[in-house]
Amino acid sequence: MITLGIESSCDDTSIAILQDDAKLLSMVCKSQVELHKDFGGVVPEIAARGHSEAIFDILQKALSDANLTMKDIDLVAATAGPGLMGPLLVGLTMGKTLAFKHQKPFIGVHHLEAHFSANFLTRPDLEFPMIGLLVSGGHSCIYYIKNAGEYKLIGETRDDAVGELYDKVARNLGLGLPGGPFVDKMASQSHESIPFTPPLLHSKEVEFSFSGLKTQALIAIEKSLDKAHIAKGMQDAVVKVLLKKTLLAVQNYQCKTVIIAGGVSANSQIRSEFEVECKKRKLNLSYPDMKYCTDNGAMVARAGYDRYQMGYRSDLNIDAFSRMSLEDLKKGSLWKKSS
């Protein structure tokens, strides 16, 4: 079965073609970093225009790289949300239009489920139930994943997402965007750090708060303290909290599998420290290959394929949405069971 996956939820345009559950036939991605660099963040209207200008060429290249035409596609999947409404509508409209024109079944994909699905592209051995940590520019949350497609939100950030923290600190350090890779590189080169207070570290609740840590880092920057020490101190605090809360969730739900997803899952210190601690506890740890960490069409194709195999289909009149917990998927707003 060949699935076409379309992703346009923020500032990355990506289309991938997946055969069955893991064989990637092609994937084309286009970043909009240059379009937004003068604004200090993603401007939704500019992002939507960027998707509109790029998406047709990306589709043609993805088909060409896979040596296929739309006649060869069995299923079309596109991100429906959460994300920025303008950008989402570009990819979702293309997906629905292709499905209608070529008479293909269609699946609207939940963006967070797609991020978790990225793990299964390379790790078919992962067993349920599991704890899923999702860390990105827009989300920082922990889910209990009982079975495929069954999610329970057990903790999230009270304020900023961890990716927002990295972007804000990177901007004020004079680094590029997205901030995660730049801060990670700077932190990895420093053997000293500023001892920032890890937020909510000793709370017994599975939740995050990164606004206070952001304030600590910005104050240190205003004081002209060493940039590398700031980056290292901030990252140490982030990783400590993410690890502590994830292990608390593991303990509360008695799971043996931990998966990490989202753009921040590419962070080298998160990967290394989670590996050490999960090995100590004999936990099966997974995070996506680097090319699947940021927004991409392959994860959308895999999520769409899985939902199709479960017997779900999406109507072509489904709407894009800016917010929706994975728990709300059971309300049936994205799919219906095929007869």
Q: What is the pLDDT of residue 339?
A: 61
Q: What is the dihedral of CA 146, 81, 263, 34, to 10 degrees?
A: 170
266 in the same domain as 157: yes
Report the pLDDT averaged over residues 153-182.
93
267 in the same domain as 214: yes
Number of domains making up the chain:
2
DSSP 132: E
Let me know: does 163 contact 234? Beta carbons within 8 Å.
Answer: no
Give the number of other Cβ atoms within 10 Å of residue 197's Cβ: 11
Asked if the structure places residue 229 within a domain, the reply is: yes
136 in the same domain as 278: yes
| Burial class for 210, CB neighbours closer than 10 Å (0-12, 13-18, 19+) | buried
11 in the same domain as 90: yes
The string of pLDDT tens digits covering residues 73-102 is 999 999 999 999 999 999 999 999 999 999
Asked if the structure places residue 55 within a domain, the reply is: yes
Sheet arrangement for strand 75-81: 23-31, 12-19, 2-7, 75-81, 106-110
Q: Report d(CA 226, CA 193) in Å as an integer.
A: 9
Q: Which domain holds residue 52?
A: 2-116+293-337
222 in the same domain as 82: no
The string of pLDDT tens digits covering residues 288-328 is 999 999 999 999 999 999 999 999 999 999 999 999 989 88
255 in the same domain as 136: yes
Q: What is the pLDDT of residue 110?
A: 97
The string of pLDDT tens digits covering residues 120-139 is 999 999 999 999 999 998 89
252 in the same domain as 180: yes
317 in the same domain as 269: no
The mean predicted confidence, pLDDT, of the chain is 95
For residue 287, pLDDT over 80 is answered with yes
For residue 150, pLDDT over 90 is answered with yes
For residue 16, pLDDT over 70 is answered with yes
pLDDT interval class at 332 (50, 70, 90) = confident
79 in the same domain as 205: no
83 in the same domain as 166: no
pTM (2 d.p.): 0.95
Asked if the structure places residue 122 within a domain, the reply is: no
Percentage of the residues of the chain whose pLDDT score is greater than 70: 100
The string of pLDDT tens digits covering residues 40-63 is 778 889 999 999 999 999 999 999
Query: Among 260, 287, 314, which residue terminates a domain?
Result: 287
Higher per-residue pLDDT: 138 or 234 = 234
Report the pLDDT averaged over residues 255-278.
97
279 in the same domain as 149: yes
94 in the same domain as 79: yes
Q: Report d(CA 183, CA 172) in Å as an integer.
A: 11
Sign of CA dihedral 33, 37, 42, 45: negative
Q: What is the pLDDT of residue 38?
A: 77
Q: What is the pLDDT of residue 24?
A: 98
**Cis, bond preceding 198 (omega within 30 deg of 0):** no
Find the CATH number of the domain harbouring 156: 3.30.420.40
pLDDT interval class at 4 (50, 70, 90) = very high
Which of 296, 229, 253 shows the shortest CA–CA distance to 30? 296
Q: What is the pLDDT of residue 178?
A: 86
